[in-house]
Structure 1
């Protein structure tokens, strides 16, 4: 079909450069391996029998590895509830001046910082070294400025994402310990090994800790087994340097104490410089300066808020685009004294709940109506709630706070009570017949709560 009008010819002239622009931009987003989003695969297909759960547990860490300047605690990932969700969980405590050695994992993960503040570095393959030490610093006086990839400040309430295979490190430059909990999505398509959590350390001797730790975090570093001469050739250094890299006699463990102040480019300055270089360098900086973190603890940004009930903040793939590729999201919940969160189920994700503060009661029911969990929970415990299982939370006198890691970048819940509930969305006649109730009883059931999902304490009036 030929275009004969001037308007059509103009349209062609406009579309050609536009199509070329799309062609040029689109492949750029595939430069980084973790940005190559794969077709969604059924989660848990190879172990679906493991989700026939009869009993859940609010679990404490089962393995502990003491290092020179901190502690790593791991939950037993072979338990039934962890196998069902296909995840693993780790808690890190980094003392002041502690450095969590550079490492990467076989699965993508999200971390929530429960307390403290420090500096984190991330090394994204294929990205340039966009930061360097300022003139006059110790590193520049030895003849060459220190060039490195980006660092950023982390603090209480931050959610930090990491793709599989991307190396990161954390340094505590504050006066109090950094405590964080990490959820690894072992069943994510980006992990092609197996359902075992593996840490690949680039330095130190993680197994040199004071207590025997889990094999996942307590092996030697990745250089240990290589031939000294081969590594010396690879780096163009002497074999003595190679032996130091291997850390064979290093007994400090995976979190070491740094006696001198680390002279790292200030993250506060980075934010300004990063914006400047992004404007200068265009698309390359857009890709390589992806945000890896966002704070979830700000009450003013709550997605759901009830004055005497509590609030919920969420970070998903729309708010933090990196999570789209990790296929993970995070929910932060705060219930006030004696308040209640609506009974609900997670439509498209498993939910792994970590209690950050307070106490409360949680009940979880499976498809046959049988309770698989009914117990009091407290700070430091972790509970897996499988997809579609119904859960209800109620705070005690001191309130209840938690963070939920969810195995979908756009996780959704379906409430059973409140303004947006499944019950409220049904016609009166359907409920009257289903429950053998009068219309008056059904109306009380449907409209007894006007809040969305966080319910204030209420005294029965009937």
Structure 2
């Protein structure tokens, strides 16, 4: 049968319609533009004068019933120019970080402990469900006057997190965290406030769905930390606010949820003084599939009727919006990208290994330096690096574009140091070694070295080095081939042949 002359045109229009439809579906959920140009609002800020860098510790602490949150100063020039803000949560045993969402994408590293993470992705179904017969047993009798119908619980997927995990929280996605381990659950995170998806301001804004979180507001500053209900006008003071439901009237909430006024008052939680991390009296009963290892031993859940395990050999293309992987462990030595048995190891995490990072425009690097080992002098081509010291300490030197020393000091456990884009940095571990997590403001952060086997000097002809530094040919060779190691250098003797 002969093809109609208009067939190619109709085919082209059909393909165009499909592409437009797919793009519209992706944009509907607001998780970013994966392949479009990301316009960075801080790219040309003239006030970013980073000739003098320094380590930073938390400036504020917010207490709660079952833990606390520490914040680094958002107005600090180093964080401000990097377009990021830093937090550290400490959730005690049986502590529950109340459901909340943020105005910027967040990347979190689990420093210590284990727990359960829940993320409610907009528009996705409740894939974890139980039948009615398994729910009523062992839970006690319903109060008189309530309907006798037993409904099985349904909710979105929950994820087990443990020390060494990095997990992503998309902008506006409601999330909660529960500590089901025996020790404190310690989390350190970066919010990419300069991300295009944050269209409010550069402040950390946590919108809590439950509770009455104890926080404060700093008068005249960018920090808007929610606390108890009070008058926002006036001088600097500790104040109080409620969750996002507390600002609505009772009748509107009652109609919206189809509940009575008594339950509406509990939703608004005006008299709740527990803060943003509350203590669960009994072990939290979370519906989750039975797994092996630590997860099975630490969770008193039941098998999900829809709990299929994923294979690890995935390439990202089979992931849909509702099944995106949010978590990856970077502490496993077998996962290291660079390893030197005398120096240490480096593990990188970017959008190739965890595709959701392309939406967040963030990536991470986990590093371990053994005693007195050195990380090669290097710089980031397309990102800032916010380095958090996990254990031990190291001496860092950072040099800017004019050859000035921007930082020469020690980075210790619990401190942050911001290394701006293209600034050259060297790390040397102390006698006790050094471990760090680096958050980077690009989903595929690129690094270039000045020494080592894959360095700039190895790429230069010997005579170029000789004439550039006015040295002999022999000195040029020693400079070019002095280090045969890749990126992590073992301790050595200065100037040895």
Q: What's the TM-score once normalised by structure 2's chain length?
A: 0.84
Answer yes or no: is the 8 Å Cα contact 1:208–1:250 preserved in 2.
no
Deviation, structure 1 residue 438: 0.8
Match of residue 399, structure 1, among 433, 442, 449: 433
Match of residue 60, structure 1, among 37, 53, 57: 57
The answer to whether residue 60 in structure 2 is matched with residue 51 in structure 1 is no
Alignment of 1:341-380 (within 5 A): 341-380=375-414
Deviation, structure 1 residue 206: 0.7
Match of residue 110, structure 2, among 113, 121, 136: 113
Match of residue 177, structure 2, among 170, 179, 192: 170
Answer yes or no: is the 8 Å Cα contact 1:101–1:204 preserved in 2.
yes
Match of residue 275, structure 1, among 303, 308, 319: 308
Deviation, structure 1 residue 370: 1.1
Residues matched between the structures, number = 449
Deviation, structure 1 residue 295: 0.5
In structure 1, C-alpha distance between the alignment counterparts of 2:193 and 2:134, rounded to whole Å: 45
Alignment of 1:170-189 (within 5 A): 170-189=177-196
Alignment of 1:197-346 (within 5 A): 197-207=204-214, 215-218=224-227, 219-268=241-290, 273-275=306-308, 286-346=320-380
Q: CA offsets, 1:217-241, max 9 Å, x none?
A: 5442111111111111111111111
In structure 1, C-alpha distance between the alignment counterparts of 2:493 and 2:215, rounded to whole Å: 57
Shift in CA distance, 250/382, structure 1 to aligned 2, threshold 3 Å: same
In structure 2, C-alpha distance between the alignment counterparts of 1:428 and 1:284, rounded to whole Å: 48
The answer to whether residue 416 in structure 2 is matched with residue 382 in structure 1 is yes
Deviation, structure 1 residue 267: 5.0
Deviation, structure 1 residue 21: 7.5
Answer yes or no: is the 8 Å Cα contact 1:338–1:396 preserved in 2.
yes
The more displaced of 135-144 and 124-133 is: 135-144
Deviation, structure 1 residue 171: 0.5
Q: CA offsets, 1:183-214, max 9 Å, x none?
A: 000000010111111100000011279xxxx6
In structure 1, C-alpha distance between the alignment counterparts of 2:459 and 2:436, rounded to whole Å: 29
In structure 2, C-alpha distance between the alignment counterparts of 1:194 and 1:208, rounded to whole Å: 19
- Computed over aligned residues only, the root mean square deviation of the Cα atoms, in angstroms, reads 3.0
Shift in CA distance, 77/459, structure 1 to aligned 2, threshold 3 Å: same
In structure 2, C-alpha distance between the alignment counterparts of 1:130 and 1:342, rounded to whole Å: 47
Deviation, structure 1 residue 160: 0.5
In structure 2, C-alpha distance between the alignment counterparts of 1:148 and 1:289, rounded to whole Å: 14
Answer yes or no: is the 8 Å Cα contact 1:66–1:72 preserved in 2.
yes
Match of residue 469, structure 2, among 435, 438, 457: 435
Q: What's the TM-score once normalised by structure 1's chain length?
A: 0.90
The more displaced of 336-345 and 215-224 is: 215-224
Counterpart in 2 of 1:69?
A: 66
Deviation, structure 1 residue 40: 1.5
Deviation, structure 1 residue 12: 12
The SS at the match of 1:34 is: coil
Q: CA offsets, 1:145-178, max 9 Å, x none?
A: 1111111100000000011111100001111110
In structure 1, C-alpha distance between the alignment counterparts of 2:395 and 2:469, rounded to whole Å: 27
In structure 1, C-alpha distance between the alignment counterparts of 2:212 and 2:318, rounded to whole Å: 36
Q: CA offsets, 1:261-299, max 9 Å, x none?
A: 211112545799443799xxxx99832011111111111
Deviation, structure 1 residue 29: 3.8
**TM superposition outliers: structure 1 runs of 4+ over 3 Å:** 11-31, 35-38, 138-142, 267-278
Unaligned runs of 5+ in 2: 140-147, 217-222, 228-240, 292-302, 312-316
Higher helix share: 1
